[in-house]
């Protein structure tokens, strides 16, 4: 039987550091078993949220409810929350096993219980061979697993992860991302992950909360955020995109109609449509632009001249100049073979109204 009440409820939480507002009236629920990622640039309030959940900062106002109990003023040691630190914070004078047992000891578990649980978690994370080593004798990836094991051992209701992959090299990072996701699925724990790396967020999360200047920019699934960004900030922060500035014209068959340098385009507005006549920005992902020899039947179609190509291996980025739109440019991804053939003649590019999101500024 699954419990439908949210595991964490953040109610109107603000945090001020002097005159700086780190977190501005955040309200949010986190469901049980969810992998939720807080994504944003440094200083956006994501780490502050994490530290408030961990008990290391006290909010200036608002409440934090964990599993139905108000924990706003509870110190970290009283919370059923554990954290994987950015620098792992392994205790250098303790072995791997002692590190992992530390939390169990302090929970008042008896010797046999500690032994059983630490063996279990070390086997689960493939650390059994390293039990007697000191953190100084481990590689970066192994340390990261020890930090995870130590945080998971006391069986927390919520696991906080503070950019734990930042210290790993690119190759290892991809592997650990898969591992983390699979660990989360197997343990069925609620993970609260903080990162500034959009790719990391897209790969692992069930849900992404994009933060900017202490506020939530957008809250949704990775697909939602990628294809239907609500704001310019989200569109630019996640992936690469074409931003089209134009003017709002009105609605037609459930689509939003806009004028883009004399071209009439159709899109959708996930964050609500602005009034007619207002200046607006719309976003189309590079891979949503299709190349055609003839004018396609898509909702939007413009003719362009190829002005630049960038070879990216499996695909190619093509820069187009649209003469009918006062020389505005678009960038598109095509597969490498198509990319090689286009160039000499003008091409048609087309995209659906569903692929173009009108943004909130």
Among 12, 41, 68, 76, binds other proteins (CB under 8 A): 76
Strands of 255-260's sheet, edge to edge?
263-267, 255-260, 241-252, 279-285, 356-359
| Cα 200 from Cα 216, distance rounded (Å) | 19
CB of 254 to other proteins, least distance (A): 49
User: Per CB under 8 A, which region of 52-60, 211-219, 259-267, 346-354 contacts other proteins?
Assistant: 52-60
Q: Which is nearer to other proteins, 160 or 330 (CB)?
A: 160
Residue 77 touching other proteins (CB under 8 A)? yes
Residue 54 touching other proteins (CB under 8 A)? yes
Count of chain residues binding other proteins (CB under 8 A)? 26
Residue 82 touching other proteins (CB under 8 A)? yes
Name the residue among 105, 77, 101, 79 with its Cα closest to residue 91.
101
Q: How do strand 255-260 and strand 263-267 relate by DSSP bridges?
A: antiparallel
DSSP letter (8 states) at residue 329: E
- DSSP string for residues in 129-197: GGTT--GGGS-HHHHHHHHHHHHHTT--SEEEEESTTTTS-HHHHHHHHHHHHHHHHHHT-EEEEEES-
Residue 18 touching other proteins (CB under 8 A)? no
Binding track over 175-214 against other proteins, x by CB under 8 A: ----------------------------------------
Q: Which of residues 148-167 bind other proteins (CB under 8 A)?
A: 150-151, 154
CB of 356 to other proteins, least distance (A): 44
Q: Specify burial of residue 254 (Cβ count, 10 A radius: 0-12, 13-18, 19+).
A: exposed
End-to-end CA distance of the chain: 43
Residue 15 touching other proteins (CB under 8 A)? no
| Cα 131 from Cα 98, distance rounded (Å) | 8
Binding track over 91-130 against other proteins, x by CB under 8 A: xxx--------xx--xx-----------------------
Q: Which of residues 256-285 bind other proteins (CB under 8 A)?
A: none
Residue 294 touching other proteins (CB under 8 A)? no
Angle, CA of 175, 176 and 180, to the nearest 5° = 125
Among 87, 110, 240, 252, binds other proteins (CB under 8 A): 87
CB of 11 to other proteins, least distance (A): 23
Angle, CA of 158, 160 and 165, to the nearest 5° = 140
3-class DSSP state of 74: coil
CB of 74 to other proteins, least distance (A): 11
Q: Which is nearer to other proteins, 89 or 321 (CB)?
A: 89
Name the residue among 293, 276, 298 with its Cα closest to residue 356.
298
| Cα 46 from Cα 21, distance rounded (Å) | 12
User: Per CB under 8 A, which region of 19-27, 50-58, 190-198, 273-281 contacts other proteins?
Assistant: 50-58
Angle, CA of 239, 296 and 261, to the nearest 5° = 65
Among 21, 31, 65, 89, binds other proteins (CB under 8 A): 89
Residue 85 touching other proteins (CB under 8 A)? yes
Using CB under 8 A, list all residues that contact other proteins. 54-56, 75-77, 81-83, 85-87, 89-93, 102-103, 106-107, 134, 136, 150-151, 154
């Amino acid at each position: 039987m699954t419990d439908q009440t949210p595991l964490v409820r953040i109610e109107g939480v603000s945090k001020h550091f002097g005159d700086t507002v780190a977190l501005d009236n955040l309200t949010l629920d986190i469901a049980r078993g969810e992998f939720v990622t807080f994504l944003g640039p440094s200083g956006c309030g994501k780490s502050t949220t994490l530290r408030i959940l961990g008990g290391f900062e006290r909010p200036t106002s608002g409440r934090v409810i964990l599993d139905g109990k108000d924990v706003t003023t509870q110190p970290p040691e009283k919370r059923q929350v554990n954290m994987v630190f950015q620098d792992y914070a392994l205790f250098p004078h303790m072995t791997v096993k002692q590190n992992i047992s530390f939390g169990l000891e302090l929970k008042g578990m008896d010797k046999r219980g500690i032994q059983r649980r630490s063996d279990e978690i070390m086997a689960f994370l493939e650390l059994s061979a390293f039990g007697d080593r000191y953190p100084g004798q481990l590689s970066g990836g192994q340390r990261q697993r020890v930090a995870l094991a130590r945080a998971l051992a006391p069986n927390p209701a919520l696991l906080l992860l503070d950019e734990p992959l930042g210290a790993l090299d690119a190759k290892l990072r991809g592997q650990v991302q898969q591992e983390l996701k699979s660990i989360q699925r197997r343990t069925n724990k609620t993970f609260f992950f903080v990162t500034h790396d959009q790719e990391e967020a897209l790969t692992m999360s069930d849900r992404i909360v994009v933060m900017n200047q202490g506020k939530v920019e957008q809250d949704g699934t990775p697909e939602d955020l990628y294809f239907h960004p609500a704001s310019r900030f989200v569109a630019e922060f996640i992936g690469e995109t074409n931003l089209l500035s134009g003017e709002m014209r009105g609605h037609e068959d459930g689509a939003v109609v806009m004028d883009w340098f004399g071209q009439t385009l159709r899109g959708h507005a996930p964050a609500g449509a602005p009034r007619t006549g207002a200046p607006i920005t719309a976003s189309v992902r590079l891979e949503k632009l299709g190349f055609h020899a003839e004018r396609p039947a898509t909702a939007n179609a413009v003719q362009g001249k190829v002005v630049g190509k960038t070879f990216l291996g499996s695909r190619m980025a093509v820069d187009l100049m649209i003469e009918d739109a006062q020389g505005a440019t678009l960038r598109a991804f095509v597969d490498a073979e198509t990319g090689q053939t286009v160039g000499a003649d003008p091409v048609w590019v087309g995209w659906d109204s569903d692929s173009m999101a009108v943004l909130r500024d």
